[in-house]
Amino acid sequence: MATATTGYTLKCVPNGHPNSEEETTTYCTECGSVLRVDYDQPSEDLQYPLKNILPDPLKTHPTALKRLGRLSETYGADLWTKLEFEHPTGCFKDRGSYIEVQKARELEADAICLASTGNMAASVAAYACYFNIPCFVFVPEKTTEAKLAQATIFDANIIRIKGSFSTCEQLCREFAKSGNYYLAGDFVFREEGQKSFTYELVDQGGSDMDYIFIPVGCGTNFSAIFKGYKEMREGGLIDRIPKLVAIQPDQSSPVVEGIFKKEKIVKEQVQTMASSVAVPDPVDFYKVLEGIDQSEGMAFTVSEDEILDALKELAVTEGDFVEPAGALPLAAFKKHNEQFSGKKCLFVATGTGFKDTQVVTKHSLNSPVLSADLKKVISYVNSGFIGMQKKSWGKSRDTFMANLKMDKEHEQLYNDYVSKINKKGKTLSNNEIEVLQSLIFDEDTDLKYPVEVLDYKLIMRKHGLVQATVKLSLEGREVVSESKGVGPIDAVLTAIRTETDNVFPLVVENHEIDILSPDTDSLVTVTLTLRNGEQQWVSKGASPDTLEAVIQAFTKGLAIAMKGSHV
């Protein structure tokens, strides 16, 4: 059972200075360190530091405690997972947001604000929305679309910032002072919410774990789980605490490195696909240190390849699709397998794979778009592409497309593309080579191009208008076409269409631009959806230059459309 109580004090962790929550809910006013809720009385109930507690309006059931039967067999240990991604927003953070939002209301804040790598933004937005309190979220520019979509649908005020999570955090901390705002985040009341993990686990019969593997970013969840154990032990509900294992990617490991040095480290640069744990300055470092010391736990790092590997293995063998951070436990376990032989281990599956589908797209070969033609489908199935697509996952893929059965014409076409790109002084990365090959894979080799773009020029006008001058070769004639548009892509396409619409009219219904890497000369793929009457075509172009990719996609699309319509 959960009970609300006002019988507690906020104390800072290293010095025990008492603090008033009307003054601060983040850092000690005396020494600046993190705070913790210290209850006057141990209890048999889960205690929450609130005057009143409302039932969680979004969560309908505890997250599943599931045995990983196949993995247990493979690795000779008793392996379990707690599916924390079963929370309403797909991540364990809901446990903390549920309590933080109620605390913000109790303190009569005008709004909540927080910095987040995405999941906390989604989670606090959901609870703030339900409890009718405005919410400001500061997120780094790289936040995944799914996480942003969640914050958007729950009416958060989204502030996207150039820079890392730590930049967002500093800025948000300043912003919080500009009004009567509750600064949410990895602070004292979140820990109180997230400790319910332990109560739930014990309630489900999971009290006899030897090890609990926890992905660590700020360290708040780790320390919350540990606090749950301590309070359950003080309340006489359990008598032992499992060994807690903190895991970080080796590309972003200030906590793990700090554990070995016994002092807090700040890392300027963190680069990992596990974006939810990419935290340069881990707020709760000292709490993690304490949790590891007192539980006789340990700390590991894992590589990016090991994360990818574990993510795939969880999905394929056990049916659990997690985001990269959620794969850290299995990755660490596998790396130190012998150490855990025969032990009962719990992996905390922190977030769902739907949060970050980009990682999957990026690390496996794209499926080519085939024409609706059974012969083509069968030849595709027999080409070996699909088998290689499966094998391509997370491996170094240097020689990987070499085995693909491309016919002469397609090989020629591919070489043409590559030489054009090389002429721009660019060498293609492996990933770019694969994308290009899968794009060309289904291209018609006997297409007749009615139009060729010989040259183009852009002039910027007022109010974001762009004027394009395009020199075309249209059915053998040279013509110059001029047009204005909102932005360069619109201007160029409109100029081309002014002429080509006389031959075959096409409406550009949609364009998608995919930049493959953060490099300035990254290959860009452009996908256009084109329409004429009831008929629709999709066409792609690829080049390091976005406009050229657009032009390529359009001229090819026109060729495909005219061929398909027997013009």
Q: How far apart are the first and last CA of the chain?
A: 73
| Number of residues in contact with ligand PLP under rule CB under 6 A | 19
The per-residue DSSP string of 48-117 comes to ESSSS-PPPSS--SPPPEEE-HHHHHHHTSEEEEEEGGGSTTSBTTHHHHHHHHHHHHHTT-SEEEEE-S
Q: Tell whether residue 216 is a contact of ligand PLP (CB under 6 A).
A: yes
CA dihedral in degrees (549, 553, 554, 557; nearest 10)?
A: 170
x/- contact string, 75-104, with ligand PLP (CB under 6 A)? ----------------x-x-----------
Minimum CB distance to ligand PLP, residue 5 (Å) = 24
Query: Checking DSSP bridges between strand 211-215 and strand 344-349, what pairing results, if any?
Result: parallel
Q: Pick one of Zn ion, ligand PLP, none as the site partner of residue 31 (Cβ within 5 to 8 A by kind).
A: Zn ion
Q: Of 190, 187, 195, 175, which is closest to residue 283 (Cα–Cα)?
A: 187
| Closer residue to Zn ion in complex, CB, 12/542 | 12
The answer to whether residue 148 forms part of the interface with Zn ion (CB under 5 A) is no
Is 323 a binding residue for ligand PLP by CB under 6 A? The answer is yes
Q: How far is the CB of 324 from ligand PLP (least distance, A)?
A: 8
Check binding of 168 to ligand PLP (CB under 6 A): no
By CB under 5 A, tell whether 294 contacts Zn ion. no
Contact 246, 259 (CB under 8 A): yes
Q: Assess 325 for contact with Zn ion (CB under 5 A).
A: no
Site string for ligand PLP, 186-215 (x = CB under 6 A): x----------------------------x
Residue with Cβ nearer Zn ion (31 or 454): 31
Bridge partners, residue 452, by sequence? 473
Q: Min. distance of Cβ 339 from ligand PLP in angstroms?
A: 23
Q: How many residues are listed for the chain in this entry? A: 567
How far is it, in rounded angstroms, from Cα 84 to Cα 64? 8
Taking CB under 5 A as the criterion, the residue among 3, 15, 382, 412 binding Zn ion is 15
Cβ proximity to Zn ion: between 35 and 292 the closer is 35
221 binds ligand PLP (CB under 6 A): yes
Q: Applying CB under 6 A, which of residues 28, 188, 218, 468 lies at the interface with ligand PLP?
A: 218
Choose the one of Zn ion, ligand PLP, none that binds residue 323, judging by a C-beta under 5 to 8 angstroms depending on kind.
ligand PLP
Strand, helix or coil for residue 206:
coil
Alpha carbon distance 172, 169 (integer Å): 5
Out of 7, 18, 20, 31, name the contact with Zn ion by CB under 5 A.
31
Shortest-Cβ-distance residue relative to ligand PLP:
351
Among positions 333-372, residues that touch ligand PLP (CB under 6 A) are 350-351
- Please count the other Cβ atoms lying within 10 Å of the Cβ belonging to residue 125: 29
- Which amino acid is it at 37? V
Closer residue to ligand PLP (CB): 275 or 494? 275
17 binds, among ligand PLP, Zn ion, none (CB under 5 to 8 A by kind): Zn ion
Q: Which does 93 bind (CB under 5 to 8 A by kind): ligand PLP, Zn ion, none?
A: ligand PLP
Q: Does 12 bind Zn ion (CB under 5 A)?
A: yes
Q: Residue 472 forms beta bridges with which residues?
A: 453, 479
Residues 6+ apart with CB under 8 A from 24: 10, 35
Q: Is 35 in the site for Zn ion (CB under 5 A)?
A: no
- Binding of ligand PLP at residue 220 (CB under 6 A)? yes
Alpha-carbon distances, residue 360 vs 369, 370, 380, 473, 540 (angstroms) = 18, 21, 22, 41, 21
Contact indicator for 124, 214 with CB cutoff of 8 Å? no
63 binding ligand PLP? (CB under 6 A): no
Binding of Zn ion by 377 (CB under 5 A)? no
| CB closer to ligand PLP, 198 vs 494 | 198
DSSP assignments along 262-324, one per residue: TS----S----S-GGG--SS-TTHHHHHHHHHHHT-EEEEE-HHHHHHHHHHIIIII---B-G
Among 10, 25, 26, 28, binds Zn ion (CB under 5 A): 28
- The torsion angles phi and psi of 81, rounded to 5 degrees, stand at -140, 150
The entry of Zn ion, ligand PLP, none near residue 164 (CB within 5 to 8 angstroms by kind) is none
**Does residue 277 interact with Zn ion by CB under 5 A?**
no
Q: Are 445 and 409 within 8 A, CB to CB?
A: yes
Which DSSP symbol is given to 128?
H
- Single residue of 119, 143, 166, 272 touching ligand PLP by CB under 6 A: 119
For Zn ion, which is the closer residue by CB, 29 or 72? 29
Measured from the CB atom, the residue of 112 and 277 that comes closer to ligand PLP is: 277
17 binds Zn ion per the rule CB under 5 A: yes
325 binds, among ligand PLP, Zn ion, none (CB under 5 to 8 A by kind): ligand PLP
**Contact between residue 401 and residue 437 where contact means Cβ atoms under 8 Å apart:** yes
Interface contacts to ligand PLP, rule CB under 6 A: 91, 93, 119, 186, 215-222, 276-277, 323, 325-326, 350-351
